[in-house]
């Protein structure tokens, strides 16, 4: 079954110059990149992305991590991969959540670490099922930023100021 999945290269991945390596590993899957961009991550976006973990003791630090506050770099690279079994393929390559338990050949196994606080600094995010993928892709991307029609859209006419080249 063809699927789409959200991948985020977290601030540690960017700061440690792992972007190229991570994208090369992901290209082994032969999946298609249908959207990609650099994002500034607000507190609201980080909180919304991980809202299901709100009750966890590590939630506040996780939100800080995603905002780049632990790495002095407030950005994340967001991508959507599309193709046959995209969700399990990318999860497999990412490896287990805990980088010490992740296979050494996986992205998290190779590049992740555990902070002294216990937080898993694990380099990438990958959606874990189709429902999560839909929620996350819609959170990080507008329809016109994705080059395939993944979900139904509607026309909206909004009078909002936009930034354009001077």
Q: For the chain, list the strands marked E by DSSP.
A: 2-9, 32-40, 75-84, 113-114, 120-121, 124-126
Q: Does 140 bind ligand UDP (CB under 6 A)?
A: no
28-57 exposure pattern, b = at least 16 Cβ within 10 A, e = fewer: ebebeebbbeeeebeeebbbebbeeeeeee
Site string for ligand UDP, 81-100 (x = CB under 6 A): ----------------x---
Give the C-alpha separation, 59 to 47, whole Å.
9
**Bridge partner list, 2:** 84
The maximal CA–CA distance of the chain, rounded, in angstroms, is 51
The first and second tokens of residue 118, run together, are 């216990």
Q: Does 120 bind ligand UDP (CB under 6 A)?
A: yes
Contact partner at residue 119 from ligand UDP, Mg ion, none, CB < 5 to 8 Å by partner kind: ligand UDP
**Binding residue for ligand UDP (CB under 6 A) from 21, 47, 64, 128?**
128
Q: Does 122 bind ligand UDP (CB under 6 A)?
A: yes
Contact partner at residue 39 from ligand UDP, Mg ion, none, CB < 5 to 8 Å by partner kind: none
Residues 10-69 touching ligand UDP, rule: CB under 6 A, are 53, 58, 62
Catalytic site residues? 125
Site residues for ligand UDP per CB under 6 A: 53, 58, 62, 97, 119-120, 122, 125, 128
Site residues for Mg ion per CB under 5 A: 128
């Amino acid at each position: 079954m063809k699927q789409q999945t959200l991948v985020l290269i977290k601030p540690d991945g960017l700061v440690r110059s792992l972007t190229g390596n991570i994208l090369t590993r992901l290209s082994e899957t032969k999946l298609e990149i249908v959207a990609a961009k650099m994002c500034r991550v607000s507190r609201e976006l980080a909180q919304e992305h991980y809202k299901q973990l709100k009750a966890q003791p590590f939630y506040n630090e996780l939100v800080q991590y995603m905002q780049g506050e632990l790495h002095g770099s407030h950005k994340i690279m967001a991508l959507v991969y599309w193709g046959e079994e995209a969700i399990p393929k990318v999860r497999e390559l990412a490896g287990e959540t805990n980088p010490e338990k992740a296979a050494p050949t996986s992205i998290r196994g190779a590049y992740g670490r555990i902070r002294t606080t216990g937080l898993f600094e694990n380099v990438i995010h990958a959606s874990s099922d189709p429902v999560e993928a839909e929620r996350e892709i819609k959170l990080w991307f507008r329809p016109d930023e994705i080059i395939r029609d993944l979900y139904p859209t509607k026309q909206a006419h909004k009078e909002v100021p936009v930034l354009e080249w001077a």
